[in-house]
A and B are shown apart, each in its own frame.
Chain A
């Protein structure tokens, strides 16, 4: 039997197809202004990859901000789906830190893997991938460069502004003062991490802690996160598909009888 999960986010759309045992296919593509259309496109691509048709899908769950536009059997919030998806890879996970392009979430899980509490920041760029992107333009670097630069940094600089507009201005001043690119890159990464950890601090940081979302691929952020947490967060093999995977996993749970 086959189950599908669709995550329509503001920046990317993902479909994951699973059977009783494994991931059969996964597709990730940029979102568009038409969530319904992009959802269907992504689903068709994923089905094509797995050599399946729509009728093969036993149960289909949609998640993400565009979930209500999708024609799915059920719509579930990305909080629950993200948590479930993380558990596919790391069943013992107790906390999820998800930093996406435009929002960030912290999810606290109980011992049974169920969501106990959550926090979201989807109102401002601080603590999201967007902040990192905006600052790459000021620093004249690529997003992938953060990892190398953070490791080269020697001087501690703190950005006092979390607002992206103010931070940009502050960064320009620091460049004008002759501060090194690597030190500024570290300051930018630190700003994002501190923001998310302030949010996370409203719950209690619990291990094992799993880091997901597009920003989980950013080496600079991973380095700073390790320093601030004083331990290494776990990162799933593909941190971008966890919400869609979680949706598919839930679809499977709802279809198969309990063991």
Chain B
């Protein structure tokens, strides 16, 4: 069973424990034609692209779709999708915007609900699910902990899907130490192309996007096998994960600042989607709090403004070089 999801607060471990295959949703196509009649103009472009894919590509061979996210657009995407395709099995996972004892308890309960729904499709018992989860947590913990430690020291900048490629390129590039190090903050989609563009402009890019830092980095992750597996999972994703924009801005700032200081990041490039409230508030907060230059680049998940991006990126590079 293929289970599609797109929010980094949806633990893939839940899906794996239900003997299903997690499919992180992104789209090769940036088309929005099919979604346009259903979503308004001032609306998250990622939602439009995703809806377009889900409608146009016959659910990408997905058997189940998990919607979620801490934003209004994510919720409305779910509402529209179930109205248009009521027969497609799907579920909305509520992600608390706060991180405290009560929200942890509720998030754990929500994860349990999600698991029960998946289990009803798979015909697996709750007992087996918990056992599976325990094994997966054992395995997952080591990887997450190692990657987190490496990320914070800059040795392995994130566990992006791209990092194998980028690491290889970096090892071949003898002039890497002379390049300007920047942290890229961005949401889903586009990231590969943006990183490529930035590398062409002679930057050394650390991937802080959704497909990079936010999914795999859990700075203060802990694991005690005797604790209930779901409690552990809830804690990892709600408390230990690097907060996404909109979730715990202060903690997010502290982690970013720590990373910037440890690695020697010289600037931040923030590629944010138009009409994304979480990113807009995040940007306004970081712009005032972070002491290194920050270049905001707005996009609508299309390449129509690539010339304008290049002007800004070139100018930013020139600013950083002159410092």
* In the bound complex, CA of A123 to CA of B323 (Å): 29
* In the bound complex, CA of A76 to CA of B317 (Å): 10
Q: Which residue of B311, B318, B319 contacts A65 across the interface (Cβ within 8 Å)? A: B311
User: Residue of B at shortest CB range from A116?
Assistant: B319
Q: Are B314 and A118 in contact (CB under 8 A)?
A: no
Inter-chain contacts of A80 with B (CB < 8 A): 315, 318-319
Q: Are B311 and A76 in contact (CB under 8 A)?
A: no
A117 contacts the other chain (Cβ, under 8 Å)? yes
Inter-chain contacts of B308 with A (CB < 8 A): 120, 122-123
User: Residue of B at shortest CB range from A202?
Assistant: B287
- With both chains docked as a complex, state the minimum distance between the C-beta of A108 and any C-beta of chain B, in angstroms: 10
A52 contacts the other chain (Cβ, under 8 Å)? no
A114 contacts the other chain (Cβ, under 8 Å)? yes
Inter-chain contacts of B319 with A (CB < 8 A): 80, 114-118
A98 contacts the other chain (Cβ, under 8 Å)? no
With A77-B318, A79-B318 in contact, is A65–B312 under 8 Å at CB? Answer: no
Interface flags, A30-58, vs B, CB<8A=1, else 0: 00000000000000000000000000000
B322 contacts the other chain (Cβ, under 8 Å)? yes
Q: Are B293 and A78 in contact (CB under 8 A)?
A: no
* In the bound complex, CA of A80 to CA of B317 (Å): 10
- Interface centre among B311, B312, B322, B323, by most chain A C-beta atoms within 10 angstroms, is B311
- Chain B residues touching A, range: 10 to 19
Inter-chain contacts of A118 with B (CB < 8 A): 315, 319
Main secondary structure on chain B at its contact with chain A?
helix
- With both chains docked as a complex, state the minimum distance between the C-beta of B131 and any C-beta of chain A, in angstroms: 54
B307 contacts the other chain (Cβ, under 8 Å)? yes
- Interface centre among A77, A79, A80, A122, by most chain B C-beta atoms within 10 angstroms, is A77
Interface flags, B287-323, vs A, CB<8A=1, else 0: 0000001000010000001011011101100110011
Q: Are B315 and A79 in contact (CB under 8 A)?
A: yes
Inter-chain contacts of B314 with A (CB < 8 A): 75-77, 79
Interface flags, B38-76, vs A, CB<8A=1, else 0: 000000000000000000000000000000000000000
* In the bound complex, CA of A200 to CA of B28 (Å): 38
* In the bound complex, CA of A76 to CA of B318 (Å): 8
Q: Are B315 and A77 in contact (CB under 8 A)?
A: yes
Q: Are B311 and A79 in contact (CB under 8 A)?
A: yes
Q: Which residue of B293, B305, B307, B310 contacts A117 across the interface (Cβ within 8 Å)? A: B293
Inter-chain contacts of A76 with B (CB < 8 A): 314, 318
Q: Which residue of B298, B305, B311 contacts A78 across the interface (Cβ within 8 Å)? A: B311
Q: Which residue of B305, B311, B322 contacts A77 across the interface (Cβ within 8 Å)? A: B311
* In the bound complex, CA of A116 to CA of B316 (Å): 9
* In the bound complex, CA of A65 to CA of B308 (Å): 8
User: Residue of A at shortest CB range from B314?
Assistant: A77
Q: Are B307 and A115 in contact (CB under 8 A)?
A: no
Inter-chain contacts of A79 with B (CB < 8 A): 311, 314-315, 318
Inter-chain contacts of B318 with A (CB < 8 A): 76-77, 79-80, 115
Q: Are A115 and B311 in contact (CB under 8 A)?
A: no
Inter-chain contacts of A75 with B (CB < 8 A): 314
Knowing that A76-B318, A79-B318 touch, tell me 6 more A-B residue pairs with CB under 8 angstroms.
A68-B310, A77-B312, A78-B311, A115-B318, A120-B308, A122-B311
Q: Are B293 and A120 in contact (CB under 8 A)?
A: no
Inter-chain contacts of B305 with A (CB < 8 A): 123
A-B contact list, 23 entries, CB within 8 Å? A68-B310, A76-B314, A77-B311, A77-B312, A77-B314, A77-B315, A78-B315, A79-B311, A79-B318, A80-B319, A114-B319, A115-B315, A115-B318, A115-B319, A115-B322, A116-B319, A117-B319, A118-B315, A120-B308, A120-B311, A122-B311, A123-B298, A123-B305
